[in-house]
A and B are shown apart, each in its own frame.
Chain A
Amino acid sequence: MTTYGWSGKILRVNFANNAITTEDTMKYKDYIGGMGIGYKIIYDEVPLDTHAYDEASKVVLAMGPLTGSGVPCSGRINMSFLSSWTKGYSIVDAHMGGHIAHAIKYAGYDAIIFEGKSSKPVYLKIDDDKVSIEDASHIWGKGTFEANRILVEENGESFDAATIGQAGENLVNMSCMITSVGNSGGAGVGAIFGSKNVKGFVARGTGSVKIADPKALKEASDYMLRELVGGNNNHNVPAVPQSWAEYSAPSGSNRWSGAPGRGWQKAEGGFVDMGEQPVGDIDKIGYRAHKGYFDHGEIADKYMVKVGGCSSCPIRCYAQYDIDPLADYDLPTKVSNTCMPIIYQAAWYPEGIKDFVDEGDANIVICGAGARAVDDYGLWDNYGNIQRDFNYCYKSGILKEKLSTEEYNSIPWDLMIEGDPRWVVEIVRRISMNEGEIAKIGLGTYLLVKEWDLGQEYLDVEYLQNVTYNGYPKHHSAEDVWQTGLLYNIMYNRDCMIHHMTNVIQSGSPYEIYRKILEDEFGEGAVDKPKHYTPMNRSKAKLAKWAFLGKQWHDMATLCNWMYPMTLSPSKERGYKGDHNLDAMYMAAVTGENWSREDVDLASERVSNMLRVMTAISFDIHEGSKNLRKDHDAIPAWVFDKEPDFKAFEAGTVKMDRDDMEIAKTMFYEEMGWDTETGIPTRETLERLGLGYMADDLEKRGLLPA
């Protein structure tokens, strides 16, 4: 029987006994794919008291029915596993783009379960239905750039690769996996693979994703491309005025940064001008995202070769650079990235950085060196926490206190002080190679605090940006949507990775337009005026629930949460309104089944509750806690105490109010159907979602709310 959307098979690879088997995906259909399949398999097969690096630990790499289907922005992979580095050591996800998700789907697999531990370094080779475990001794110890290149060259045409670097091999908690030179899956997944002696995998697929109604799918895709999609992060107005556009960003900056006169100076054959990109012109969409300009301004053009991104995505959010000043330091010059690695490396230089060739080029050159280094070593930055921990510990004297004199003096501080790009490479090397006490920074913030006995007050420091006491920072939080943003930031066991609201708020679209669009759906008062927020209300709780559930959907389907949902549109004719029914339209066209938005929401709510239940069980096991509200969802003091000259709710501040946030939590738990005292799902909620077995489990453990 043809399976539409889903490839139909899950690949299970046991690296202890080299057993390679397949299973029917459809037994997990209620969980859709990606994160959903991952959570179900981890819950069923890995006891939550398992240490992340134990042989019993597993990684479930999974795609969904939309991955590789041709739906725009469907090139993503979700990897689920137990955390090695956060309070509670519960379930976490790594999210990886690039091109390899398509290859795995076309090879015939919806998911791969990595289990057991190999006795020697190996990699997994997937060549359609020929799957084998191959020797990786020749690439063990190498960085991801060289390892991926060697694997692709060795295996041949159309193979893609993903590997871990030295950080993963050395069991550094802050480690990732890299594909397509810069597409990264983080959250510590590198070291889970490293603990299994698995360097990575290669994939080639000559098959296809079957589509129930290809005509409807093509029409829906074209509809999205012509009418709904904007720029990077789906910002729906250009950063600067374009002749066709009614609006542009008032600040002159957003992630739709491509514009006439801007472009790629190092392209083959000279400058490529990104020009105007009117609504409806599909052949111009790829020029809307100019992340280089957004990150570094005009200087970026000097080093841009072209733009890149994931399979199927029209928004090319990766800036691909040839930063030649790095050659003077014998460092690689080619850099491709879109996220923290290419914007946040100056934080390794607490004494500051300085320009190289042109005025204002310090940051792009240093970030180029740093991006290349972290991606090569496979070091994950925990959304900037690793740099902030280093920076703060240096400035506050903690490093001097914790490192031996011998080690401290062995560190080439002169490179750091001079703003030399080799400094970032050296500090990344030390942490990735687990070399010395300074490498403890690679434990992650939560364990670093324990290891160096820094106390809870360390997590209350504003500069460090921790959004809970669990070890990870805010990720588009209260600064965008106040209580709403903060609520979904504290739901996970890593930074939240939700872009639903920052995509709208930072779009540059007029407030009155997006307020009406959102309030029509979520109720009056859902969205406050920029820089002037008001006390918590029910509409904000509904908005927070929508964003929280929606992110899970994207990691199940899989779709890119930097782009979806299509809340806004660049089309004046549409009144700038997007279409929240699009995901269901895609599901119906791809699978041939009846899918409504309610179906999408229900599936998302199911997996969102699995996250919550597994987190509750983990906190009980590892922290002796039976109250997530108190012990998982606690918010550090800086969020409420920052900006001392302001009071909460005054115009101009993002300072939050303690009592108001407690009201916010209560309202959110009520919307979610969770017990308001503990923040744990009730039996009624779990049974409504087909998770009665999880209610039983909670009850057995004494965690089920009365």
Chain B
Amino acid sequence: MCENKSQNKLDQMLSQEMTRRKFMKISGKSLAGLTVSASLLSLMGCTQEQVDSDAITVWTMPTGLLVVNQAKCTGCQRCEINCTLVNDGEASSHISRVKVTRNLMDNDGHGTYQDDWVYFPDTCRQCDQPWCGEACPVEAIYADENGVKHIDQEKCVGCGACVGACPWHMPTLNPETKKSSKCILCGSCIEGCVTGALAMVPWDAVTAAEQKTRKQ
């Protein structure tokens, strides 16, 4: 049972990694059943060449497509600032729900001090079967009506199980409040990104682009 569950989760993670790194590239044309047309690329603020070079990560979110373009990320950390100002009422990197600082200096041989300036804002995937939620011993992590996963601060006991369970360590235990927090898709990071390295393409815009492509 446990093994099967783990295998399922592994499949899910691999499939998400597929989305992250190769999904668009493999077919060159499709994303979650959508045609990656010129108009969709334009909405995503990127080029086919950027997709092909793995500079683009796309996540399917309840509210739309979340596009992360590392070719455009200039490491200003305003995504983290906006996140924590809006959600925590303070300015911080560590507890930010979007994470760029941890990639900024040195990430697997890339980054500021590795002479290539490859860094990117890492985001919660809002998994259908969330590793964080399933690991939580007090069931503090729940999905809202849109499928966005929240942490009930009343219930959270600050054990950190969600942090460890998430393959990408996106939830963060706040060292001061001893509570965990994670992305609730508030959009503040995207709103604060000064180069459009983070962008959300709403589903209705995606659909419109799809329809336009089909008509052509």
Give the B-binding residues of A (Cβ under 8 A). 68-70, 72, 99, 102-103, 106, 128, 145, 148-149, 152-153, 157-161, 180-181, 205-211, 214, 217-218, 225, 267-270, 272, 282-287, 305-314, 316, 320, 332, 334, 336
Is there an interface contact between A312 and B102, defined as CB atoms closer than 8 Å?
no
Q: Chain B contacts of A69 at CB under 8 A? A: 91
Query: How far is A285 from B191 in the complex, measured between Cα atoms in Å?
Result: 12
Is there an interface contact between A270 and B49, defined as CB atoms closer than 8 Å?
yes
Query: How far is A18 from B89 in the complex, measured between Cα atoms in Å?
Result: 37
Q: Which of A106, A270, A272, A282 contacts B92 (CB 8 A)?
A: A106
Q: Is B85 an interface residue (CB 8 A)?
A: yes
Is there an interface contact between A309 and B76, defined as CB atoms closer than 8 Å?
yes
Query: How far is A272 from B72 in the complex, measured between Cα atoms in Å?
Result: 8
Is there an interface contact between B82 and A218, defined as CB atoms closer than 8 Å?
yes
Give me 9 other A-B pairs in contact (C-beta within 8 A), A214-B85, A268-B70, A311-B76 excluded.
Answer: A69-B91, A99-B104, A152-B105, A205-B93, A209-B92, A211-B85, A214-B90, A283-B194, A286-B74
Say whether chain B's binding surface is mostly helix, strand, loop, or mixed. Answer: loop
**15 residue pairs bridging A and B, Cβ less than 8 Å apart:** A99-B75, A99-B112, A148-B113, A152-B106, A158-B93, A180-B112, A205-B93, A207-B92, A268-B50, A268-B54, A269-B55, A283-B196, A306-B74, A308-B112, A314-B78
Is there an interface contact between B91 and A283, defined as CB atoms closer than 8 Å?
no
Q: Chain A contacts of B51 at CB under 8 A? A: 269
Q: Which of B105, B118, B175, B176 contacts A159 (CB 8 A)?
A: B105
Q: Chain B contacts of A284 at CB under 8 A? A: 194-196
Is there an interface contact between B194 and A282, defined as CB atoms closer than 8 Å?
yes
Top 5 A-B pairs, shortest CB-CB distance: A269-B50, A208-B92, A286-B195, A286-B194, A269-B53
Q: Chain A contacts of B54 at CB under 8 A? A: 268
Is there an interface contact between B84 and A208, defined as CB atoms closer than 8 Å?
yes
- Given A269-B51, A269-B56, A286 contacting B94 (CB threshold 8 A): no
Query: Which B residue sits closest to A283, measured CB to CB?
Result: B196
Q: Which of B49, B85, B117 contacts A320 (CB 8 A)?
A: B117
Is there an interface contact between A209 and B72, defined as CB atoms closer than 8 Å?
no
Query: How far is A64 from B70 in the complex, measured between Cα atoms in Å?
Result: 31
Query: How far is A268 from B73 in the complex, measured between Cα atoms in Å?
Result: 11
Q: Chain A contacts of B81 at CB under 8 A? A: 70, 312
Q: Chain A contacts of B78 at CB under 8 A? A: 72, 312, 314
Question: Distance (Å) between the CB of B62 and the closest chain A CB?
Answer: 22
Q: Chain A contacts of B113 at CB under 8 A? A: 145, 148-149, 152-153, 161, 181
Query: How far is A320 from B52 in the complex, measured between Cα atoms in Å?
Result: 23
Query: How far is A214 from B88 in the complex, measured between Cα atoms in Å?
Result: 9
Is there an interface contact between B106 and A214, defined as CB atoms closer than 8 Å?
no
Q: Which of A207, A209, A305, A307 contacts B94 (CB 8 A)?
A: A207
Count how many pairs of residues, one from A and one from B, have CB atoms less than 8 Å apart in the complex: 162
Q: Chain B contacts of A157 at CB under 8 A? A: 102, 106
Question: Distance (Å) between the CB of A625 and the closest chain B CB?
Answer: 45
Q: Which of B72, B76, B92, B95 contacts A313 (CB 8 A)?
A: B76
Q: Which of B90, B93, B191 contacts A210 (CB 8 A)?
A: B90
Query: How far is A690 from B55 in the complex, measured between Cα atoms in Å?
Result: 56
Q: Which B47-68 residues sit within 8 Å CB-CB of chain A?
A: 47, 49-56
Q: Chain A contacts of B55 at CB under 8 A? A: 267-269
Q: Chain B contacts of A211 at CB under 8 A? A: 85, 89-91
Is there an interface contact between B71 and A272, defined as CB atoms closer than 8 Å?
yes
Question: Distance (Å) between the CB of B171 and the closest chain A CB?
Answer: 14
Query: How far is A615 from B91 in the complex, measured between Cα atoms in Å?
Result: 37
- Given A149-B114, A269-B49, A207 contacting B102 (CB threshold 8 A): no
Q: Chain B contacts of A283 at CB under 8 A? A: 193-196, 199
Is there an interface contact between B115 and A102, defined as CB atoms closer than 8 Å?
no
Query: How far is A272 from B151 in the complex, measured between Cα atoms in Å?
Result: 38
Q: Is B26 an interface residue (CB 8 A)?
A: no
Query: How far is A550 from B117 in the complex, measured between Cα atoms in Å?
Result: 34
Query: Which A residue sits closest to B73, measured CB to CB?
Result: A306
- Given A286-B74, A286-B76, A208 contacting B95 (CB threshold 8 A): yes
Question: Distance (Å) between the CB of A73 and the closest chain B CB?
Answer: 10
Query: How far is A99 from B196 in the complex, measured between Cα atoms in Å?
Result: 20
Q: Chain A contacts of B112 at CB under 8 A? A: 99, 180-181, 308
Name the residue among B49, B75, B193 with the largest chain A CB count within 10 angstroms: B75
Question: Distance (Å) between the CB of B146 and the closest chain A CB?
Answer: 23
Q: Chain A contacts of B105 at CB under 8 A? A: 99, 152, 158-161
- Given A159-B105, A269-B50, A283-B193, A309 contacting B90 (CB threshold 8 A): no
Query: Which B residue sits closest to A282, measured CB to CB?
Result: B194
Is there an interface contact between A308 and B75, defined as CB atoms closer than 8 Å?
yes
Q: Chain B contacts of A70 at CB under 8 A? A: 81-82, 84-85, 91
Is there an interface contact between B89 and A214, defined as CB atoms closer than 8 Å?
yes
Q: Chain B contacts of A270 at CB under 8 A? A: 47, 49-50, 53
Is there an interface contact between A208 and B88, defined as CB atoms closer than 8 Å?
yes
Is there an interface contact between B56 and A314, defined as CB atoms closer than 8 Å?
no
Query: Which B residue sits closest to A202, measured CB to CB?
Result: B105
Is there an interface contact between B93 and A102, defined as CB atoms closer than 8 Å?
yes
Question: Distance (Å) between the CB of A132 and the closest chain B CB?
Answer: 19
Q: Is B192 an interface residue (CB 8 A)?
A: yes
Q: Is B205 an interface residue (CB 8 A)?
A: no
Query: How far is A128 from B92 in the complex, measured between Cα atoms in Å?
Result: 13
Query: How far is A206 from B101 in the complex, measured between Cα atoms in Å?
Result: 11
Q: Chain A contacts of B72 at CB under 8 A? A: 267, 272, 286, 306
Q: Which of A148, A306, A332 contacts B71 (CB 8 A)?
A: A306
Query: How far is A149 from B115 in the complex, measured between Cα atoms in Å?
Result: 9
Query: How far is A691 from B108 in the complex, measured between Cα atoms in Å?
Result: 52
Query: How far is A285 from B195 in the complex, measured between Cα atoms in Å?
Result: 7
Name the residue among A158, A159, A283 with the largest chain B CB count within 10 angstroms: A283
Is there an interface contact between B196 and A316, defined as CB atoms closer than 8 Å?
no
Query: How far is A69 from B191 in the complex, measured between Cα atoms in Å?
Result: 18
Is there an interface contact between B76 and A267, defined as CB atoms closer than 8 Å?
no
- Given A208-B84, A268-B53, A270-B49, A316 contacting B71 (CB threshold 8 A): no
Q: Chain A contacts of B82 at CB under 8 A? A: 70, 218
Is there an interface contact between B47 and A269, defined as CB atoms closer than 8 Å?
yes
Query: How far is A370 from B79 in the complex, measured between Cα atoms in Å?
Result: 34
Q: Chain B contacts of A160 at CB under 8 A? A: 105
Is there an interface contact between B86 and A305, defined as CB atoms closer than 8 Å?
no
